[in-house]
Chains A and B, each alone.
Chain A
Amino acid sequence: MAGVTRRFHSGDRIVTALEDVSADVRAGKVTGLVGPDGAGKTTLMRLIAGVLRADAGSIHVFGINVSADPLSVQGMISYMPQRFGLYEDLSVRENLDLYADLQALPMSDRAGRYDELLHMMGMAPFIDRLAGKLSGGMKQKLGLACTLIRPPQLLLLDEPTVGVDPVSRRELWGIVDHLVHEQGMSVFLSTAYLDEAARCDEVLLLHESRVIGSGPPAKFTREMEGRSFVVRAPEHTKRELQAALEELNGVTDAVVQGDAVRLVLDAGVKADVVEAARIPDVDIRPVPPRFEDGFIDLLKGKERAARTASSGTPAPRLTGRTTDAAPVVIDVAHLTKRFGDFTAVDDISFNVKRGEIFGLLGANGAGKSTTFRMLCGLLPATDGRLQVDGRDLRVAAAAARGKLGYMAQKFSLYGDLTVAQNLRFFAAAYNLIGARRTERIEWALGEFELAPWRNATSRDLPLGYKQRMALACALMHEPDVLFLDEPTSGVDPLARREFWRRINALAEGGVTVLVTTHFMDEAEYCDRLIIMAQGKILAEGTSEELKRAIRTDARPNPSMEDAFIALITADEAGKAAA
């Protein structure tokens, strides 16, 4: 790729999707195209596949210019788009037949190839099932099988792991490793999950339409060697500690991780800068750097170069601790929801205290959304007790809802309205009138730094600002309880940090926060969490407790994802044995 630029016209605006992108993808390797949503990943994939044309620059695939001869390139590559490209009303076999015909696989080779692929994907028993009836992970594997029907020289995968549960995600990576390292295929895949970058041989880091870094993932972490630490301070809550640390000079990054704070220092800064914060009994331990540290360092470096130091929101320093004595705000006991014969939520109990950040972790279909909807009073429970702030949702849903703020997954805003119009609408929807409404709108514009965007159409906002605005709308009526549905998936890491800084400040101020997610990073921010599968709670505790439970000698430092997968597999093994 050399100097690739691509712009889109949307009405009278021009959106630049890719700006002067030059990079090489090497044969026989897994190359990851890593970047947040909206960075231009899909556009680049489509350009390589020859279904879009570049405005400037050129792309050569195995020496062939894609825009001059897309058909030849398409004969050598396979491409799995984000939505897998499956025909849902065709069975697994019929989908394979179609792609075998399209790839001109000789009839005599088919039976053997189908067997091999289905075995690799572990889906031989489902060959006659309709594709539409498969689970998300299965669809993804079938999509992959279809693209592999005739082994391509280059396999393009566009965000193959989005919306797929961690178990399937891990299986997919196993398959990719097998293809590259045993069959010599080249794979180019895009992802918004930074933790996946470490599994690639090479990484292209895409941010705001530009490549900001490339090379083996170890290169990014090597530069961070000796700059990552875990900090604990028994006298302070982790959120106080985080807020204090990130304001220090020389700190690149400070994020809550489990019961501690993960700290990344600027290059050349020694760990003793922490002493400047005068935190009693502080415990600092060096940890190996991870890929995300390198990414943050690159982004912060760009920011430092682009702006002067004055910007940035200092988080309000709020005292007020989460103690065991804090009152219970959300109380759920023996909650059950049945749809006909199907039990979506099966006898779950938990409670959340004031000022706590509580996580609901689970794969798609685990019952998270159903639980969430019942808590919001949008769906009546079949059985069990359900109280929010002392009000029983089964009898006083409307009163309880007045105390709730809700931020939906896709930031449900009106794209055609301006920022100010959206805020005014949500203020009105929450019954704020007169001076109070004006005051809250001004608060939102100020607090979330949306004032410069006041008259911008919401659709045109960068993703991070959309997220801020969605949060502002949810907080319009100063709710005591805040529900967040996968709040930061796909958002770039800086915007994600800023978002959590606000959430942390809210929690410190006594707002109770409930988060659903299948994004392991988000789980780390929670004080406590439950892991759900098939409508049941598998485990409950802090992320440290959950990780500690599966620690072994072979795996001394398990991740949240390891813990999740271990619990799910143990649960399935238990069911199989029963």
Chain B
Amino acid sequence: MKGSMMRLRGLIRKEWLQILRDPSSIAIAFVLPAILLLLFGYGVSLDARHVALGLVTENPGAATASFTAQFQRSPYFAPRTFLTEKAARHALAQEKIAGFIWLRGDFTRALDAGKTPDIGLFLNGIDANNARIVEGYVQQSWANWIAARAAANGIPDTSPLTVQPRIWFNPAVSSRDYLVPGLIAVIMTLTGALLTALVVAREWERGTMEALMVTRVTMNEIMLSKLIPYFMLGLGGMAVTVLIAVFLFDVPLVGSIPMLLLASALFMLASLGMGLLISAVAKNQFVAGQIAIIAAFLPAFILSGFVFDISSMPAAIRVITHAVAARYFVAILQTLFLAGTVRSVLLPNLLALLAMAAFFLSAARLVARKRLD
């Protein structure tokens, strides 16, 4: 066996033994992603459900009952009835309800007179996302109810065109279905960077790096010996998160598995490369961990587009998002999970990931010196 191969084999075997004996790597590769995915998967949801909505009916009658009944039946609302608009306002101020609908005393009279009455909708804008969802839903319900009433009364539909929305790729418009694939990308960014950053920092901390450096071993061999085992471990962690997504969160996976594997491999190389780069700067585990969270996890969380839409960011920030590897992986995963193997979307993102992996690995290699200074 050639010297170089023998050294690499020795280093990789050492790395595997350490992985088996010291549970921290296993924890970072498998347990951390699983826990984060469960926490975020169950905790983060952008859907409005069981919204406490106040209903103020000043002059109850058959018409108002027919209108409010649709909220009573809806799974999205938990309506509460108030007798006066003042009482509802009070409840809104105390955040007991997210908003209320005000049907004034002339509601039935206006209807009977063949006019469309005005209704009042008051919303708590602090939770802007929820407020917008409720607003949209109430408007939709109101329009439907008016149309249905007109049809029942034999009055022809007067609006010139109707919108029939048809939502592709995520027909239920479940936010979890598109959040979970994005989450996988964000979580695996952290896992990949932590794996290599921590194990290299550990060697510095324990003085073993110094001992390695005075042997004939080359920097390439040291870096490969860190990359190969943790690449496999990282892909294992990736598999765990995909299984959780598909079987626990029931996210459909419509794209091709080999494509998913290819993208994951490229992304893992980029993340591990980032970890190696971090370890060139941070020579103890605490600092390496801090940097991995700040430099890898936070940008991935905020700038990857997994929840905050990139196209609505200011132009300067949009430019920065191109430097975040997770951005491309989020796009790939959301496409593969929900839309399928859409080559025109996947290909540019895969190329970007390849470039990121090449960049981080070569940067880490350039920065790493076989010296202690």
Contacts and interface: CB of A to CB of B under 8 A. Distances in A.
Given A83-B207, A98-B14, A101-B11, A49 B216 contact: no
Contacts, number: 93
Contact of A74 (B14, B210, B216): B216
Nearest to A100: B10
Looking at A46, A71, A94, A102, the one whose CB has the most chain B CB atoms below 10 A away is A102
Interface in B295-343: none
A101 B372 contact: no
B200 to A, nearest CB: 14
Interface string A68-86: 0011001101111111111
Interface string B10-23: 11011001100110
A90 B20 CA distance: 10
Nearest to B372: A51
By size class, the interface of chain A is: 35 or more
By size class, the interface of chain B is: 20 to 34
A73 to B, nearest CB: 9
B370 A70 contact: yes
Nearest to A85: B211
Contacts of A102: 7, 10-11, 212, 215-217
Looking at A52, A101, A130, the one whose CB has the most chain B CB atoms below 10 A away is A101
Contacts of A350: none
Given A81-B210, A87-B18, A52 B371 contact: yes
B208 A85 contact: yes
B65 interface: no
A71 B217 CA distance: 8
Interface in B1-34: 1, 3, 6-7, 9-11, 13-14, 17-18, 21-22
Nearest to B207: A83
Nearest to B216: A75
Contacts of B166: none
B86 interface: no
Interface in B203-222: 206-208, 210-218
A107 B14 CA distance: 17
B6 A104 contact: yes
B373 interface: yes
A156 B211 CA distance: 11
A154 to B, nearest CB: 11
Contacts of A371: none
A103 B211 CA distance: 12
A106 to B, nearest CB: 9
A51 B215 contact: no
Contact of B212 (A46, A75, A83, A85): A85
Contacts of B216: 71, 74-75, 102-104
B214 A77 contact: yes
Interface string B171-207: 0000000000000000000000000000000000011
A547 B285 CA distance: 48
B284 to A, nearest CB: 14
A98 B214 CA distance: 14
B71 to A, nearest CB: 62
A100 B3 CA distance: 11
A104 B18 contact: no
A545 interface: no
Contacts of A87: 14, 18, 208
B211 A79 contact: yes
A89 interface: yes
A421 to B, nearest CB: 26
A438 to B, nearest CB: 39
Contacts of A355: none
B26 to A, nearest CB: 13
A455 to B, nearest CB: 30
A162 B6 CA distance: 33
Given A50-B214, A81-B207, A103-B215, A94 B7 contact: no
A104 B7 contact: yes
Contacts of A94: 14, 17
A71 B371 CA distance: 11
B256 to A, nearest CB: 40
A536 interface: no
Given A53-B371, A90-B18, A104-B3, 4 more contacts: A53-B373, A86-B208, A97-B13, A101-B13
Interface of A: 8, 46, 49-53, 70-71, 74-75, 77-90, 94, 97-104, 107, 130, 146, 156
Instruction: State the 5 A-B residue pairs at the shortest beta-carbon distance, nearest first.
Output: A85-B211, A101-B10, A83-B207, A79-B214, A104-B3
25 contacts: A46-B372, A49-B213, A50-B371, A51-B213, A51-B372, A52-B371, A53-B373, A74-B215, A77-B214, A80-B211, A81-B211, A83-B206, A84-B207, A85-B208, A85-B210, A86-B208, A87-B18, A89-B21, A98-B10, A98-B13, A101-B13, A102-B217, A104-B7, A130-B21, A156-B214
